[in-house]
Structure 1
Amino acid sequence: MPFALFCNDAKLSKAYPTEADVWKVAQNSGLVVDVVSEKQKAAPRPVLDNDYEIRPCQPEPHEDPAKNKADAERDARLEPPLGS
């Protein structure tokens, strides 16, 4: 089952083959922040900003999650890193 980025019930991203693929896209888009808990001050953990969440989804009829992943990887190689 493919995964996508959601805010509330709105699908915000294309569908990707795995949850890890969506995390990469969210990270490259600046939607991932590091959070430090009191218990784990030395090890911040990445979380999605605001009300974003990654959920399983059905791809759109014309959509190919594997192609979306390949396109995102190509775009990440071509674009400068966020914040530079």
Structure 2
Amino acid sequence: MDTLRALSARLDEASATLTALSRTVTASDPAQAAFGTDAPGRPGEIGRALHRQWTAATDDRAREARAAAGRLAAAASAVREAA
């Protein structure tokens, strides 16, 4: 029983870590200017496209982290109920 309780606690910790990560992964996104979005012409177009791609990718990773955190929390709950 203690082993199951310890496992559920570790799953809860992992869930909390992923939840925090899902919030911070997009918080440190570089500004648009870092991609050269304010440059004239083709370089600016490329910079804007790169920034959109970066934003979409980090948003996707945040969403995946939130989903994984939810699954870990559900697993922790199931282990607690079994204990």
From the CA coordinates, give the structure whose radius of gyration is larger.
2
Of Structure 1 and Structure 2, the greater strand share is in 1
Interval containing the TM-score (normalised by the shorter chain)? under 0.3
TM-score (norm 1): 0.25
TM-score (norm 2): 0.25
* Greater relative CO, 1 or 2 (CA 8 Å, sep 6+): 2
